[in-house]
Structure 1
């Protein structure tokens, strides 16, 4: 090594001599030769220069010190130098130096030479670097860079793992074959390999000492950069992602859940903590956080070596459901491992205080001592108790939690007191800790049923039941008498006396008064309780197996004067409920398996400081998502508890339907079964199927007419419920009144309007002249007319008794029978059944005939309209039944509609005057006027104070009383008239009529041999005192004195006109033998046959009868002869 340095020094000296002498070789003959110089790069701070001076021929140029020698160092001033050697000491290190030597000979020859070198005392160093100090890779490349070329001692080398200048401490090794020379002597690259069996490790990589020297001979020296530490970690990068919002534990559906909610702005902080440092900057972490509401701001000084970050959330809205999501794919750890996904944070930030509203299913004034109150919060609250409610005038008997936002409370009212209920502010709090606002003040007045209402509806109920019972008894008696008479006479003598002349009309009008209780707003207590007492007429009563079958919601909804803010105002505007979220919420509303608010159970004391306040929240259970927060804690009524309310009230219409149809089926079914059993019994006892007005389907039609309002109301109930089954059931129920009305219309068209089955005939006085004011008075008060229904020859005699209820009381398209009332030779009296209005008369050929008039088309249309009055009446009651059940709460439009249809019916009645009987026309007019007054008062009730409303209530009760009294007086008048007619053969005696009616009741229970003892027969074999139908066959030639009917069929189209002394039509008349001494030939019509009658032998007697008929049917010459054969029928 020493010889190598010496050789190197000689080479440097020789080169320097050459370089120093070349520039002056041309000009000077003196040569300067350096025998010793420092190396170009030296590590010493001194230098030794040896030099000599020669001529061109090689001889010494300076003998005997004849030369002047000067030196200069680094540009300093020239100074004399020794002749042969110059030693320089204490030279500045680590810089370039320049030594200048100048010589001048004795003869003036001069020359100079310079030498430059660098003193380098800095030892060579090397740094090891890598792109990744943290890695999860299998191998990494390291760079070895020397500060200067270090080639001494062989330079940097790495032959194998045992002969390598790179030293590794830790679970790794160098791959020698990976050595790459990037820059010779200064820059090398090689790979470090980490074992796969290790997951986490720490490796120290360094360079060995004294591995080489630089050009100046400085030994290699290690520095801090000569070693590095590499961490390898193949484990996951984890993050703790939490918020400062307090967390609570709630048990939902039996499962613990974590709830985060706050009303404090200082809680809106988001924290992240990674298990290893991340390679992202704070700005990148901020961009990786996505928040649906507000904005995040970094809190300075919280990085902690890129492992912990803190952010603050700024929100301007008062209520938000905030979701913060970490986009983990944007964050990479320093080892290159991406961060593991972290669940998003969802919490509620709510500053809105929960509002509360009190409502009740009771009216403002109620008789029920137990008042059900609905406590409805605008959003779910926790900790609500009975002690938080202020109640005066009653006590709370129970509190039931229907949901966290809906409570049902029962209050027992003190008698005749005003119950006042309210909830003060600050009693309960929501999930965010907001205390409630003050509620509205609910006031309900408790009352007892007024005695007047009890008395009136009891009186009406007793009157209806008594009248119905009397009517049923008389109808049964008359039917039995008619059946027994048929057996006795051998012909179908059907008693057509109908005691129930307008019974369905009376009940129908009372049904309208009952239905008005569902139609009118703010009805007075007196009238409302009376109407409720008569609901059995619909019928609408509590079911026997249910304690409270009445609809509790929403017949009456109490609305306080104070209106709370819109319930959904707590939900933030623009809340991003996309279609998927909305569909999910709707699904939860309709899905019965969806968790309800009542399934939430907080832990004791959970809102009073006992919650988790640690930095990293230890979750109690699965956290709620935004949809669940909205459903459970922010969605107020009617959204959040809408399904709960419906479940509570369970109003689908089925309950009201059951209340109607159960009692309708029980009552109507029982009556129909009793009717059928009665007919079977009478048929068995009398051996005849004909039973007058008890014939099928007269009674069933009567019941069906009364059932229609109940059926239509029931259909409206279930259709209002909105269920598919309810709509289908309601439509099927509505088909019943629709089909019945259409059937009546078809029947009237076929049987009445066309005149093919029945014909209405009316007496018209040809010589009647009245002044205009008399005509006006008669138009307003109803003119007394004499009209009868006749049915076609060949029809069964039971046709009218079966179907007469549809038309027998009404006028029809008339055929007029003209009678001259000024003819003094004749007196006129319509033959027939008196009040019944039906008859049967047959036209036969005659030499002298009377004629009936065919009326013009307008008059016929008017008659058709009159006979359609029953359809109008049924349509009105059906429509009132529909609107009574179609609305959940009473509305003014219902009363307006009811008033309108009632006015239409009254105008129809007043203008057309459809009833034959003046009495029926009068009572119908009075009833409709009372109903018009009732609905008019109901409309005006909305703006009345309680005192005025009470007075109007008495007026409404008066209208109901007037209607009932007029109807029942008319009905009892009809009943008494029927009894009196029953006694006509002997005398006009009510007692005798009752006696005959009693006999009619007991006859079916007697054997045939004992019946004659109860009802003595006449010589003709007919029952004594029984009013017969005029078409009864009289074949009594051998018996004197014979019984003949005064209404006979003669040789003309005849309406018999009887003298005032004649017996009442329909009653058998004993004719003295002196009157019929001669054989008089009568042609009598029977049931579908023409039996021979008594023959008149005298022709003059026949002329007298024809003159009488001619006087009864006098008319003008233009009258056409009726060609249709009709028979008078009682």
Structure 2
């Protein structure tokens, strides 16, 4: 080392001498030579300068100290400047120095020379750095940077792992082959490889001591930067993403779930806690958060070394389902690993207090002691109990939770009290802790059935049953008498009495009053209870196997559908976040498999302090998403009540259908079976076919007409239910009245309108004139007429008895028989015309009477319209039945429609006057007018106070009473007339008629030997004949005429009888009737020839025959008949 320093010193001296010589050789002849100078970079604080002065020839220029020498150091003159050697001490270190030497010879030559050097006492250092001190990589590159070139002692080197100036402590090693020289002697780069056996580790990297020296000879010195600590971590970066919103545990469908909800703005804080610090800034973390409602603001002072970040949420909406999502891929841990995904946070922020509405299916005034009340909250609540309900005038007997927002409560009303039910405010909480608002006040007045209603419907029921029983008894008696008369006489003459003809009219009008109970709004109690007491006429009664058969809450379901749009509009903006969530929600709203609110069970004590302040502490279970929050906590009722209430009541119309058809089947089926058994019994006893009023299908048609309102109402019930099976069933049921009405129309067209089977004939007086006031009276009522139906010759004798119920009491397209009532030679009397206007012509003069040949078209159309009155009546009953079942609640439109169709039928009756009997017309008119008054009052009931409504209720009862009394008087008049006719011709005696009727009842149970004495003989010895039935045909000769027009030809039948002094009294003789038949042709107007094959009889011969007939039957006018080619019917 010493020889090296000496060599360097010589080199520096030589260079300085050369430099000084060059600088001064031109300007001066004195040369300055430095024999010793400090090195250009020195680590010492002193310096030694040796110098000499020479001339150009090399001699000493300052011999004998003849020169003047001056020295300067760093620009300052030195006080002394020796002639040969100058030693400078205590020089400032770590800076440049400049030494200036100036010499002047004796002869004035001058020269100067300067020398600069740097004193460096700072040892070289090195720093180790890397791009990241935390990493998850397998290897990492480090940089070794020296503070200055350090080449002494061989400089920095790393030959292998054992000969390397970099020292590694920890699970890692240096890769020597990776050494890269970035800047010679100053900057190096090499790789550190971490052990794969460790997932997490700490590696210390440093540089060895005295590895090199700088130019000044300072040895390398280690500093803090000469070592570095690197952490490697290959594990995931986790984040605890939580909120300060309180959390609760709910068991939904048997699974514990975590629910987050609050109504406090201070709870809206979001926290992110990372397991290791992250490399992102607060602004970057904020940008990585997405929120669907409101805005996030950073809370200062919560960084904790980039391990915790806190934000506050500002929300303007009063109700919001808030979802906060963390885009974790945007956040990188300090090791370079992205943060693992974290589930989003969804919670409910709700400031809206839950509203509550009370509703009931009971009317405002009810007789039922048990009142079912629906408690409907606008959103789910928790902890609702009976004690929270305020009740006066009754007590709560049961509370059933249908869902967390829907409760069913049963209140037992005190007798004759007003039951008041309400829920005060602040009694129950929703999921967010909001207390409920005050509910509406529900008041229901309890009453007992008015005695007047009980008396009236009992009176009507007893009257109908008594009338029906009397009608059935008389019908059976008459049928038995007719069967025995047929058996005794060998003919088909049976009784011409049908007491049930007006019964279906009476029951039909009462059915209209019963159906009005389904039509009218706010009906008075008196009338409503009376109508309910008569529902057995439909029939609509409780099923025996069900405790309560009333339809429950159909109006509530339809109200829920109407409020659905309003409820959905309350969903806060921004939810759901995307279309996929919306579609999923819509699917769940219509899918019954979605969990219902009643499946939610809170843990004891929840909402009262026993809940976590955050999910971070102890999560209960899977948190709910936004869709579930809406379904379970914000959807409310009636959106979810649409399914819950329907599930409770299961109203599809089937229950009401069963109530109708069960009793209809029981009643109608029993009557049909009884009818069939009765027919079989009578046929077995009498061994003759049963005709007349018990013939098939007359009785079945009677029942079907009464069943049609019930069938049509039943079809409307199930169609209203909306199910596929219900719609199909309802359509099939509606096909029954439709097919029946169509069949009647077809029958009337074929049998009546065309006149091919039956013909209606009416007597018209030629010279009759009425005063104007009589015509006016007849316009408003009707005129008494003599009209009868005749059936075509060759038609089965049972035709009219089977199907006459469809037309026999109505007028038809008429053929007029013109009679001059002023001619004393003409006697015209229609016997047995009675209430139905049918009978036989006793005598009609063929000379003085004239019968029309054909019916003009206008009169035929008018007659067809009159015959169609039954179709109009059935259509009205079917329509009233349909509107009674088609509406879920009573509406004003029902009464308006019922009034309209009733007015149409009344105008039809008033204008056309379709009934033959004046009595039937008046009874029908009174009934329709009462129904019009009833529906008119029902329409006006919507805007009437209770006192006036009670008065109108009595008026409605009066209409019902008048209708019933009018109908039942007419029916009993018909029954009594039938009994009087039964006693004729002996005398008009009700007692005798009852005696004959009683005999008719016991006939089938007597031995046949007693049958011959049942009907008494007349004093003349001629057997008494019973009134003829509708299918009675007059005996005709076996020989048939070639062809006679059925309208203009007449047949006279004469039955001889014994004189008073003939056979012995008590002996019955049967004298066959002698028939004289003459064919008389009449020349038609406008015809120029007579039909072939017809013989003209002189009028004198006809007069002789009639005289002979009158002489043979003098004194007994009861057996004279006249006939056309249409057989007469009574």
* Contact 2:828 2:841 survives alignment (8 Å): no
In structure 2, the partner of 1:941 is 941
Name the SS for the 1:154 alignment partner.
Answer: coil
Displacement, 1:1004? Answer: 2.1
Name the SS for the 1:637 alignment partner.
Answer: coil
* Contact 1:1028 1:1068 survives alignment (8 Å): no
In structure 2, the partner of 1:770 is 770
Distance in 2 (CA, whole Å) between partners of 1:1099 and 1:187 is 160
CA offset digits 1:247-304 (Å, max 9, x no partner): 1111112211111111100000000100011111111111111111101000011111
Change (3 A) 1:89 1:852: same
Distance in 1 (CA, whole Å) between partners of 2:1121 and 2:997 is 43
Displacement, 1:912? Answer: 0.7
CA offset digits 1:980-1013 (Å, max 9, x no partner): 1111131111111112122222222233333224
CA offset digits 1:67-99 (Å, max 9, x no partner): 111111112246551111111122222111111
Change (3 A) 1:517 1:846: closer
* Contact 1:1057 1:1109 survives alignment (8 Å): no
Displacement, 1:1127? Answer: 2.0
Displacement, 1:325? Answer: 0.8
Change (3 A) 1:228 1:724: same
After alignment, is 284-293 or 676-685 more displaced? 676-685
Distance in 1 (CA, whole Å) between partners of 2:897 and 2:1087 is 49
Displacement, 1:200? Answer: 0.3
* Contact 1:142 1:189 survives alignment (8 Å): yes
Distance in 2 (CA, whole Å) between partners of 1:423 and 1:1090 is 97
Displacement, 1:1048? Answer: 15
Change (3 A) 1:1033 1:304: closer
Distance in 2 (CA, whole Å) between partners of 1:147 and 1:507 is 123
Change (3 A) 1:458 1:846: closer
Distance in 2 (CA, whole Å) between partners of 1:1092 and 1:1003 is 53
Distance in 2 (CA, whole Å) between partners of 1:711 and 1:534 is 17
Displacement, 1:136? Answer: 0.6
Change (3 A) 1:629 1:140: same
In structure 1, the partner of 2:912 is 912
* Contact 1:480 1:691 survives alignment (8 Å): no
Q: TM-score normalized by structure 2?
A: 0.92
Change (3 A) 1:872 1:1112: farther
In structure 2, the partner of 1:351 is 351
Displacement, 1:1032? Answer: 5.1
Name the SS for the 1:1094 alignment partner.
Answer: coil
After alignment, is 917-926 or 718-727 more displaced? 718-727
* Contact 2:841 2:1123 survives alignment (8 Å): no
Name the SS for the 1:570 alignment partner.
Answer: coil
Change (3 A) 1:237 1:214: same
* Contact 1:896 1:939 survives alignment (8 Å): yes
Name the SS for the 1:1085 alignment partner.
Answer: coil
Displacement, 1:1093? Answer: 23
Distance in 2 (CA, whole Å) between partners of 1:992 and 1:970 is 22
* Contact 1:256 1:622 survives alignment (8 Å): yes
Change (3 A) 1:556 1:264: closer
CA offset digits 1:1040-1087 (Å, max 9, x no partner): 999999999944899999999999999999999999999999999999
CA offset digits 1:339-388 (Å, max 9, x no partner): 11111111111111111111111111111111111111111111111111
After alignment, is 711-720 or 306-315 more displaced? 711-720
Distance in 2 (CA, whole Å) between partners of 1:91 and 1:1066 is 186
Displacement, 1:1019? Answer: 12
After alignment, is 133-142 or 64-73 more displaced? 64-73
CA offset digits 1:25-57 (Å, max 9, x no partner): 122222211111111111111111111122222
* Contact 1:842 1:1126 survives alignment (8 Å): no
Displacement, 1:1088? Answer: 33
Displacement, 1:642? Answer: 2.2
After alignment, is 83-92 or 421-430 more displaced? 83-92
Displacement, 1:1037? Answer: 13
* Contact 1:297 1:312 survives alignment (8 Å): yes
Change (3 A) 1:549 1:1086: farther
CA offset digits 1:902-958 (Å, max 9, x no partner): 111111111111111111110110000000000111111111111111111111000
Change (3 A) 1:5 1:548: same
Displacement, 1:773? Answer: 3.2
Displacement, 1:854? Answer: 2.5
Displacement, 1:1094? Answer: 22
Displacement, 1:496? Answer: 3.4
Change (3 A) 1:810 1:464: same
Change (3 A) 1:872 1:1076: closer
Name the SS for the 1:1082 alignment partner.
Answer: coil
* Contact 2:1050 2:1124 survives alignment (8 Å): no
Displacement, 1:1026? Answer: 2.0
* Contact 1:841 1:1054 survives alignment (8 Å): no
Name the SS for the 1:80 alignment partner.
Answer: coil
Change (3 A) 1:361 1:1078: closer
CA offset digits 1:795-852 (Å, max 9, x no partner): 1111111111111111111111111122233232125654444569999999999432
Q: How many residues align structurally?
A: 1130
After alignment, is 554-563 or 228-237 more displaced? 554-563
Change (3 A) 1:151 1:464: same
After alignment, is 234-243 or 108-117 more displaced? 108-117
After alignment, is 1051-1060 or 241-250 more displaced? 1051-1060
In structure 2, the partner of 1:601 is 601
Distance in 1 (CA, whole Å) between partners of 2:576 and 2:1112 is 92
In structure 2, the partner of 1:422 is 422
Change (3 A) 1:816 1:807: same
* Contact 1:842 1:1128 survives alignment (8 Å): no
Displacement, 1:542? Answer: 0.4
* Contact 1:9 1:39 survives alignment (8 Å): yes
Change (3 A) 1:112 1:1042: closer
* Structure 1 spans left out of the alignment, 5+ residues: none
Distance in 2 (CA, whole Å) between partners of 1:1060 and 1:509 is 52
Displacement, 1:647? Answer: 1.5
Displacement, 1:223? Answer: 1.5
> Which protein, 1 or 2, shows the higher relative CO under an 8 Å CA cutoff with sep ≥ 6?
1
After alignment, is 1036-1045 or 607-616 more displaced? 1036-1045
Displacement, 1:21? Answer: 2.1
* Contact 2:751 2:757 survives alignment (8 Å): yes
Counterparts of 1:666-815 in structure 2 under 5 Å? 666-815=666-815
* Contact 2:937 2:952 survives alignment (8 Å): yes
In structure 2, the partner of 1:966 is 966
* Contact 1:842 1:1049 survives alignment (8 Å): no
* Contact 1:479 1:692 survives alignment (8 Å): yes
Change (3 A) 1:89 1:368: same
CA offset digits 1:478-503 (Å, max 9, x no partner): 22222222222222224332111211
The answer to whether 1:1085 aligns with 2:1085 is yes
Change (3 A) 1:991 1:615: closer
Q: TM-score normalized by structure 1?
A: 0.92
CA offset digits 1:646-673 (Å, max 9, x no partner): 1122211111111111111111111111
Distance in 2 (CA, whole Å) between partners of 1:1067 and 1:135 is 141
* Contact 1:518 1:884 survives alignment (8 Å): yes
* Structure 2 spans left out of the alignment, 5+ residues: none
In structure 2, the partner of 1:580 is 580
CA offset digits 1:766-795 (Å, max 9, x no partner): 212223332222111111111111111111
Displacement, 1:765? Answer: 1.4
* Contact 1:715 1:734 survives alignment (8 Å): yes
Name the SS for the 1:300 alignment partner.
Answer: coil
Distance in 2 (CA, whole Å) between partners of 1:439 and 1:564 is 20
Displacement, 1:1118? Answer: 34
CA RMSD in angstroms comes to 6.2
The answer to whether 1:505 aligns with 2:505 is yes
Displacement, 1:444? Answer: 0.8
Distance in 2 (CA, whole Å) between partners of 1:120 and 1:346 is 68
* Contact 1:1082 1:1095 survives alignment (8 Å): no
Name the SS for the 1:153 alignment partner.
Answer: coil
* Contact 1:360 1:558 survives alignment (8 Å): no
After alignment, is 342-351 or 728-737 more displaced? 728-737
Displacement, 1:1113? Answer: 22
CA offset digits 1:685-704 (Å, max 9, x no partner): 22222321211111111111
Displacement, 1:591? Answer: 3.1
CA offset digits 1:136-155 (Å, max 9, x no partner): 11001111111111101111
Change (3 A) 1:131 1:1062: farther
Change (3 A) 1:842 1:1078: closer
After alignment, is 995-1004 or 1053-1062 more displaced? 1053-1062
